[in-house]
Structure 1
Amino acid sequence: MSQDKYVDRSAYDHLRFGGFHRTTNIWGEDRIVGEVPPIDTVSDVFYVPWENHGRWGIFDRAGRVVEAAVDRALPDGQLLQQVVESPVSYDNIAVKAIEGEYVYGGRFHPHFGHFLVEALPRYWQLARQPLENRKIVVHTNAHYNFFADFPFARSIFSVLDLRAESFIDFQVPVRLDKLEIPHVSLRPQAFAYEAYGELCRHIGRKLLAERSIDRNDKPVWLSKTKLKHGVSVFANELIVEDYLRKHDVDIVYPEELSFEDQLYLFSSRTTIAGTTGSAFHSAVFVENNPRIIMIDPVGFKNSNFSILDKLMKVESEHYFPSGTEMIQLDGFLRAVAFPEPEVVAEEILKTIRRVP
């Protein structure tokens, strides 16, 4: 069911719009640290299958986690759904991987935004050289389905010449004689290498290679009003959406577009606005970036957006409508309500029409 069931105008009548402010504070860091990450090659290691918030990972013969294979976030290196201790010892593992060359592909995350900033950063070297006959070892509970159930992953991996059979996720602890581990080219809310931007542009060029890009000056609003779940949402966005539609702004629902069509949208439109969300990450895959305007639910922005801006060499515009209120909304990690949504919509429209 769409979010229109949550639009009770009287529920937010007490809120007062306190102004439209450019967001300058960020959560996390946004450093660009170099051109390419290092690649480690480790021997006599073992793989422990993924367990949500459990003990899993790549470990050396002594049972110590291999740090290069650990996913982290934020400058202090916060762990992502992982306890870095092994539930087994090397000598007690009976299964050994067959002879071959293996590359570590990290943890597959099925959410679009998390996939782009937590999984894809391991694959940066594939913009520079093919995988050839090497197999990619991954951690996931979705491996056997991600080529069928996650079209964005299928599109991205396919243009990197990867197929379902390119990946292995062992179901039991397994010993590996040798494993190549590319360090991540982006750590969420912390840093990125130029190689991540290079990888994304490589993917975008290949996905759009057969399409003629016709520039369109009509502005777009990326709407979340049809989402059933997600990270953040404005509960009364539908009021803003209706106002913008009446004033000649195209309303687009990203989840209804293929990944290729999302990239075409960002390549062809000159102005794209919306409430802050992972749909805007698609911009890093295109080379003719539009003007981007995001409405933040709180008075700071996630530094991932600043990192991607730096890789694209652009500056997206972030604004915060003062007077918002946090509310509870099933299916969303954070939900807020616009104060005086028609007034906010008018400010958004003025911003869209203003020449930067």
Structure 2
Amino acid sequence: MGLKECTGFVGRRLLINDLPSRRMARNAIFIPPANGPYWGLFEPSGRSVAEAMIFAGNGSGKLHNPLGSTDCPELPSCPTLSDDYDYIYMGHIDPHYGHFLVGAVGRLWALPAYERDRLRIVFSCHLSVQELMARDYFRVIMTALGLTEKNFLRISTPVRFRRIDVASVPFEELSLVHTIYADLMHAIGRQIIPEGGQPLPARAIYMSKERLRNGNVRVDNESAFTAALRERGVGIVYPEEMGFRDQIKLWASNPTVIGFSGASLHTSIFFPERRVITLAHGPDIWANQCLIDMANNNDAQYLYDANGLEHIGAGNGFNMNYRIRNPEQLASELAEYALS
């Protein structure tokens, strides 16, 4: 039998029930990326505001790698923004859906519940607010939180804030997740699909990347694999061809969802206790999906093809391509596992 359970993990899997730290930073200067060698939110001393820092683990045992500057030796002269608004720090936004989902949006766990007119979400990005809102996932999530374009303040050059509310990111990639992250995502899911979904507990669905034009990792002969799965009663969906609300509705209906590891499986986080089968590209699974599953209390399995995927290398818009050695066999074993 080629289908086996994963034997190892890349990164740490730590679930924390306590809230992440949060503080009101005073006279802090925000230096966006591309404004010199230092970027981030800094206290008047030049030290980084700790809650504004972004960290990530790695596969070598280091738990908290800073992804921004820990200090700025010489703060620039810059204007001070008006006190007419209540500023909330969101930081740098990576608009790639997967990075956004486990990154900047998590800071909104501390979003106040009061009226939004004075609220300004402070961020940096190579995209404008209008361009971000044109992305379906961003617009749907922000609308669910009661936010509009006017609530966002894009920063492209250094500025000073007399007061800015800074909440730590509740998800550190390959390291840890706070339970408040799942609480936030569940609240968003309830706003997007208030009616819930029609339960489909006996149905299995495979999330295919075969129509994805570019990305990190893909299976080169996935079409042969999906054809074999379809013949065995597994439904095939293409997330990039679905509206974001439709993707959320699919998860709300709670089928068994299968897919190679990637951002499409992270979307389970919008409804608790989903059933997820993640296919790894080798015997070790990257911990980000495990962190999602832990926070969401998912019924999760991590499987790989013990026959070994053939490494093809980079190309065709992807950083790594693999080939399944025997798509028919793997599909047969996976369908039997998922539908039994």
The TM-score with structure 2 as length reference comes to: 0.91
Post-superposition offset of 1:84: 4.2
Residue 336 (1) aligns with residue 319 (2): no
Quick one: which amino acid aligns to residue 278 of structure 2?
M
Q: How many residues matched?
A: 332
Q: Deviations over 1:102-139 (max 9, x none)?
A: 1101221111111110112111123x734732211112
- Mark the runs of 5 or more structure 1 residues left unpaired by the alignment: 1-17
- Structure 1 residue aligned with 2:24: 41
1:342 maps to a residue whose letter is E
Of 314, 318, 324, the match for 2:302: 318
Return the alpha-carbon distance in structure 1 between the equivalents of residues 218 and 10 of structure 2: 18
**Structure-2 change in CA distance of 1:44 and 1:52 (3 Å):** closer
- Distance in 1 (alpha carbons) for counterparts of 2:263 and 2:146: 25
Q: 1:298 to 1:273 in 2, by over 3 A?
A: same
Name 1:72's counterpart in structure 2. 55
Match of 1:254 in 2: 239
For the residue of structure 1 that corresponds to 2:299, the secondary structure is: coil
User: What stretches of structure 2 of length at least 5 have no aligned partner?
Assistant: none
Deviation (angstroms), 1:248: 2.2
1:87: how far off?
8.0
Q: How does 1:15-34 map to 2 (within 5 A)?
A: 19-34=2-17
* Aligned pairs (5 A) from 1:281-296: 281-287=266-272, 289=274, 291-296=275-280
Counterpart contact for 1:275–1:295, Cα < 8 Å: yes
TM-aligned CA distance change 1:67 to 1:143, over 3 Å: farther
Report the CA distance shift for 1:52/1:287 in structure 2 as closer, same or farther (over 3 A): farther
Q: Is residue 137 of structure 2 the alignment partner of residue 164 of structure 1?
A: no
Q: Distance in 2 between matches of 1:53 and 1:34?
A: 37
The Cα shift of 1:58 comes to 0.8
CA 52–27 in structure 1, closer or farther in 2 if over 3 Å, else same = farther
Q: 1:288 to 1:70 in 2, by over 3 A?
A: closer
Does structure 1 conserve the Cα–Cα contact (< 8 Å) formed by 2:205 and 2:235?
Answer: yes
Q: Distance in 1 between matches of 2:266 and 2:297?
A: 14
2 CA distance for matches of 1:52 and 1:202?
A: 36
2:38 is the counterpart of 1:55 = yes
1:215 CA drift (Å)? 2.8
Query: What pairs up with 1:85-234 in 2 under 5 angstroms?
Result: 85-86=71-72, 89-90=75-76, 92-93=77-78, 95-99=79-83, 100-126=85-111, 129-130=113-114, 132=116, 133-210=118-195, 213-215=198-200, 217-234=202-219
Contact kept? 2:197, 2:252, Cα under 8 Å: no
Which residue of 224, 227, 233 maps to 1:242?
227
Q: Name the CA shift for 1:30/1:129 in 2 (closer, same or farther; >3 Å).
A: farther
For residues 123 and 28 of structure 2, the distance between their equivalents in structure 1, rounded to whole angstroms, comes to 14
The residue type paired with residue 39 of structure 2 is W
SS of equivalent to 1:294: strand
Secondary structure of the equivalent of 2:141? helix
Change (3 A) 1:222 1:54: farther
> Residues 197 and 249 of structure 2 are in contact (CA less than 8 Å); yes or no, is this contact kept in structure 1?
no
Deviations along 1:31-83, one digit per CA (max 9) or x if unpaired, are 11223212111111111122399532111212222221111111532233x34
Structure 2: which amino acid aligns with 1:213? Q
Q: Percent identity?
A: 26
CA contact (8 A) 1:103 1:134 kept: yes
User: In 2, distance between residues paired with 1:297 and 1:288?
Assistant: 24
Q: Distance in 2 between matches of 1:250 and 1:87?
A: 56
**CA shift at 1:89, angstroms?**
2.0
| TM-score, normalised by the number of residues in structure 1 | 0.87
Q: Secondary structure at the match of 1:55?
A: coil
